[in-house]
Amino acid sequence: MKAYIDASGNSRTSDVVVLAGVAADDPIWLGFEEEWKRILQNRDPIAPYLHMNEINSKRGAFTDAKGWTDEKRGKLIMECAAFASKLDKKKFRTFFCTVDMAAHREISAKLPQPHRAQFPSCVCVRWSR
């Protein structure tokens, strides 16, 4: 099984942080990665990856200076979203949660020191099939 996980925001300065991820068995990833790569490379300029924060803020690989226009950024987002919407949701699982960072900091501060040192950014979740 493979999983990719990312977060938005900054755990030290943001009010909330959104954690999101996708997981699937290896054979599912193979087909996904081939098509994802095709979508990223089938454009001018080529998208080296997809990172919504960079696209929306026109930073990193997706700046105007690197040939990215609002139209090109929008088209990339739409093509990736269209592809993702067609994935078999029973085989390709997505998940996300929003963490209230003020509550997280308050609870973390109440943990005994050994636990804070061992788990500085721990978030507990429950998952079932």
Domain tally for the chain?
Answer: 1
For the chain, give the percent of residues with pLDDT over 70.
87
**3-state class of 16 per DSSP?**
strand
What residues does 13 pair with on adjacent strands?
none
38 is a domain residue:
yes
- DSSP states of 16-29: EEEEEEEEE-HHHH
In a domain, 126, yes or no: no
Domain that holds residue 42: 2-100
| 7 found inside a domain | yes
- Reported as a single tens digit per residue, the pLDDT across 61-115 is 999 999 999 999 999 999 999 998 898 888 888 888 888 888 888 877 787 766 5
